[in-house]
Homo-oligomer: A and B are copies of this chain.
Amino acid sequence: MFLRNCWYVAAFGADLKIEPLARTICGQPVVLFRTLAGKAMALEDRCLHRGMPLSQGGEVEGEIIRCPYHGLEFDGKGVCRKIPGQDQVPAGARIASFPLVEQDALLWIWTGDAALADAGTIPSHFYHRDPHWEWSPIFLDLNCDWRLLNDNLLDLTHLGFVHKKTIGGDPGAHANAEMRVEREERTVVVTRWLADTEPPPFYRLGCAFKGKIDRWQEIEFRPGLVRIWTGGTDAGTGAYEGNREGGVQFMGFHGVTPRTDTSCYYHFTQARNFRLADPALHEQIHRAAVATLLEDKAVLEGQQARILENPARGFIDIRADAGGLQGRRLVEQLVARESTPSTVASGAARSP
């Protein structure tokens, strides 16, 4: 029940170097590699001959990747170009290839219907290329259904409990914050405002506030990605009307990629707009982010283990789930649309 027609983060671009990289996207084993020219490619990670994973020691030479077992060669489209010991390669000998786009330091992959892959719909993330922002990447394997991670990110009331040792703050303030949930075609936006509150310690690192501040948490979910824009400015100076100059801002990028039914990849970056070119601060923030994400990993994997013991049991929803429930419904509707015959999906059958 994967949502396949979707761009997902397969890897940070910087993590794909000379050696091929193995990934599993929506249950599909994939090998990522770079041609001599530096172009990133994604093929099925299985030689057509005897099933060998190309990622396991496969060599890239020019534009091809060579199977590590018997040396069959495949180009970036998956077409078999050479079979050692044979003069000819049979027509049609190929493995699957997948659209892969490198953009904003990320490798975006599409394992669904290639005809529907439109690179123009890949979310732009200018924070990764704007010199006024600094960021660092974190990559984690999580042993949980990607939907549990989506839920987690769409309901930040967990901060006061899961992250009380790191970024938590007052549980009550989080739980009782004003919240608005907006749903569009492929996005859910959750807005939480904490007006006139104490700035948390991390915020003070970046700004000498005059006193209390107006904080915001603006969460944008679309399948494959959650962005969380947080920050604060001096109270009453117009943060909620759009004037966010002079305070601190963090832009969190959370790439959430289904691996199997019960595992996912988590590509995280946090960009900030203050005290750039300060390596000690950068390191401090990076470490805090790693610690925070590992707290989430422990919770999510514990939750998944319990769910697996009795998958038929349902959940009970609370007020804070409003965003997460919209996110789940959005995914369910998109999945349902994928399994519908295309004439219906394109709307033709709906015409009277």
Contact = CB atoms under 8 A, between A and B. Distances in A.
Interface of A: 29, 45-46, 48-53, 56-57, 66-72, 83-86, 93, 151, 155, 157-158, 160-162, 171-172, 174-176, 298-299, 302-303, 305-307, 309, 313, 315-320
8 contacts: A49-B318, A51-B306, A52-B299, A52-B303, A57-B299, A66-B161, A70-B157, A71-B160
Contact of A51 (B72, B171, B313): B313
A53 B315 contact: no
Contact of A175 (B84, B160, B161, B318): B84
A341 B201 CA distance: 62
Contacts of A315: 49-51
Given A83-B319, A84-B320, 4 more contacts: A29-B309, A57-B298, A69-B303, A70-B158
Closest 9 CB pairs of A and B: A84-B175, A85-B175, A56-B302, A71-B161, A85-B320, A51-B307, A48-B316, A51-B306, A52-B303
Contacts of A307: 51
B299 A157 contact: no
A68 B299 contact: yes
Nearest to A324: B50
Given A52-B299, A155-B70, A157-B70, A86 B306 contact: no
A161 B83 contact: no
Contact of A53 (B50, B86, B176, B303): B303
A151 B83 CA distance: 17
A132 to B, nearest CB: 35
Contact of A319 (B67, B85, B316): B85
A319 B71 CA distance: 13
B303 A50 contact: yes
Contacts of A49: 315-318
Contacts of A299: 52, 56-57, 68-69
Contact of A86 (B45, B67, B318): B318
With a 10 A CB-CB cut-off, give which of A57, A69, A70, A93 has the most chain B CB atoms.
A70
A150 to B, nearest CB: 12
A252 B93 CA distance: 35
Contacts of A306: 29, 45-46, 51-53
A46 B316 CA distance: 12
Contacts of A162: 68-69
A306 B69 CA distance: 13
A70 B161 contact: yes
A230 B84 CA distance: 21
A191 to B, nearest CB: 15
Nearest to A315: B50
A66 B162 CA distance: 11
